[in-house]
Structure 1
Amino acid sequence: MTTAPATLIGVDFSSAPSRAKPIVLASGSLHGRVLRLDGVQRFATLAAFADWLRQPGPWLGGFDLPFGLPRELVQHLGWPTDWAACMDHYAAQPRPALRDTFAAFCDARPAGQKFAHRACDGPAGSSPSMKWVNPPVAWMLHAGLPLLRAAGVGLPAHQPPAELQGTDRLALEAYPGLLARELIGARSYKSDTAAKQTPDRLIARKDLLEALEQGRSRLGLRLKLSAAQRDALADDARGDTLDAALCLVQAAWAATRPGWGLPPGIDPLEGWIVSA
């Protein structure tokens, strides 16, 4: 059993944060099977978030952004198949060039099989990490992963144990949609568009919060919220704060599992989404 660090975090990431759409970080602590939400922070710039990442730990975090690309894509493009070298190459490419490269890859493939997928996409129900629109997860990888690496954060799905020695800040790839679907099915609970921030979505957020507080997921953890926190999470119609809390729950589950709950034999080039 892994010993949970004093601080657990969940991060709803944006590749182009602003005051209206910040990066949201939820922090919490585990008390038996109860996960207490201790606070929420928001970062309106990538630089502000990078400053936070460089602060001392210890913490274990679940981050809603991909940490790797599909092996099929990397091999097709002739990019390095060593994860660190591949990410160095990827981060050095301008986004217009990446978009053209990915579009050409997709255009050459049959309908229904346009994108390459990672092994974790199926069980997680996640978008392919090469997707550059709706949602632009390729840009989240491009913007976010270099910040983690520059801050010296350990990435257990991609680095051998020897490289993690002495690292007390550890990041796992999380996906809030995986846990949300388990608890409320395919119901939509958020929208960035004001006209789509409907009463039905508010009810879905409240139902999702109730399920989290009652510990109804297979992860076996109950989220402990104050009345004010519950209202704040329900009232965020964009769902960013709730998504950060969902990532926090996934990180807390990983903290209780051997090897952070990562399945044996995962491809370090691709990585894995925690709890998938």
Structure 2
Amino acid sequence: MAAGLPGLWGCDFTSAPSRRKPIVLAQGRWEARGSAALLVLDGLHRLESLDAWADWLRAPGHWVGGFDLPLGLPRELVQALGWPIEWLACMRHYASLQRAEIRERFAAFCRSRPVGSKFAHRATDGPAGSSPSMKWVNPPVAFMLHAGVARLIDAGVSLPGLHPGDPCRVALEAYPGLVAREVLGSRSYKSDDRSRQTPDRLLARKDLLHALETGQAAPLHAIGARLRVSPAGREALIEDAQGDAIDAVLCLVQAAWGWRQHACGHPRYGLPACDPLEGWIVGAGGWAAA
């Protein structure tokens, strides 16, 4: 890594990591090549517990990471429940609740609303195409927030637009589906269900990786870079039918875009001025050139 440049990370997160379904980290670095640049994938790391992930977060370092978990709740929901509307106080309160209590409170909120508008959304959900952060099943992003954000806070990392921390360890909210959809449209590239791990999804992963390696994917195109992957790394990304590895790389790509925005003078790593309670997904709304 060049002196002074941060390491770059992408994190495919799960609220209940295990040997079968670990948290996957993609480790990368920026390498300038004249007028072009490379985002080099140095390796994939798998963490089988939340404690291991928390230890990694707390370790001293210099990095910018893209994390596939929501970093805030919809303001509409928070106000309806009477919870604190300041982000840190709200997240501390949320972390103090048990999952069963969260499920019941969110379900009660949904029961009180009309069909078609059951969930409250953050402003970022529209342009990102992301699930509401209060959703507790398929996918259980509410529990990802519950498991992840408190550990990010306790690790002392910086969350731009939300919470100050160590400026050398910066966490951005990423969403791999945002980048994948821009390449593949509605084609699916992964499934946890073995019966749905089809040749079509395998081909979609190959096409997605090709777009990253050639710099055609929007965030890489915007910053004039392409992804470099070793032959072994390429095989690992393509053969992972669950898609966790390539999702971690997509988060790495979003982290690289955010870091380049910061390096070019953007004070919030490319994030727009947004609701300081809800937060924002990096790249939602467009990929500005660096």
Q: Which moved more, 1:127-136 or 1:92-101?
A: 92-101
**2: distance between equivalents of 1:4 and 1:251?**
17
**2: distance between equivalents of 1:37 and 1:116?**
37
TM-aligned CA deviation for residue 34 of structure 1: 1.6
Q: Over aligned residue pairs, what C-alpha RMSD do you find? A: 1.2
Equivalent residue letter for 1:67: L
List runs of 5+ in structure 2 lacking aligned partners. Answer: 285-290
**2: distance between equivalents of 1:41 and 1:107?**
41
Q: Deviations over 1:106-145 (max 9, x none)?
A: 1111111100000000000000000000000000000011
Indicate yes or no: 2:276 matched with 1:268: yes
Flag the 1:107–1:213 CA change in 2: closer, same or farther, 3 A: same
Q: Deviations over 1:206-240 (max 9, x none)?
A: 01000111111222231111111111100000000
CA contact (8 A) 1:153 1:170 kept: yes
Match of 2:26 in 1: 26
Equivalent residue letter for 1:11: C
CA contact (8 A) 2:61 2:168 kept: yes
Match of 1:129 in 2: 133
| Higher-RCO chain (CA-CA 8 Å, sequence separation at least 6) | 1
**2: distance between equivalents of 1:112 and 1:63?**
29
CA contact (8 A) 1:4 1:252 kept: no
Q: How does 1:74-89 map to 2 (within 5 A)?
A: 74-89=78-93
Indicate yes or no: 2:242 matched with 1:238: yes
1:116 to 99, 116, 120: 120
The sequence identity of aligned pairs, in percent, is: 63
Indicate yes or no: 2:74 matched with 1:66: no
**2: distance between equivalents of 1:57 and 1:270?**
27
Equivalent residue letter for 1:44: E
Match of 1:152 in 2: 156
Q: Which moved more, 1:254-263 or 1:26-35?
A: 26-35
**2: distance between equivalents of 1:157 and 1:45?**
28
TM-aligned CA deviation for residue 4 of structure 1: 8.1
Q: Deviations over 1:147-167 (max 9, x none)?
A: 1111111111202xxx34x53
Matched position secondary structure for 2:158: coil
CA contact (8 A) 2:259 2:269 kept: yes
CA contact (8 A) 1:4 1:255 kept: no
TM-aligned CA deviation for residue 268 of structure 1: 1.1
Match of 2:177 in 1: 177
Q: Deviations over 1:178-228 (max 9, x none)?
A: 000001111110011111111111010001000111111222231111111
Q: How does 1:220-231 map to 2 (within 5 A)?
A: 220=221, 221-231=225-235
> If the length of structure 2 is used for normalisation, what is the TM-score?
0.91
Matched position secondary structure for 1:167: strand
Match of 2:54 in 1: 50
- TM superposition outliers: structure 1 runs of 4+ over 4 Å: none
Number of residue equivalences = 269
**1: distance between equivalents of 2:237 and 2:213?**
12
CA contact (8 A) 2:179 2:218 kept: no
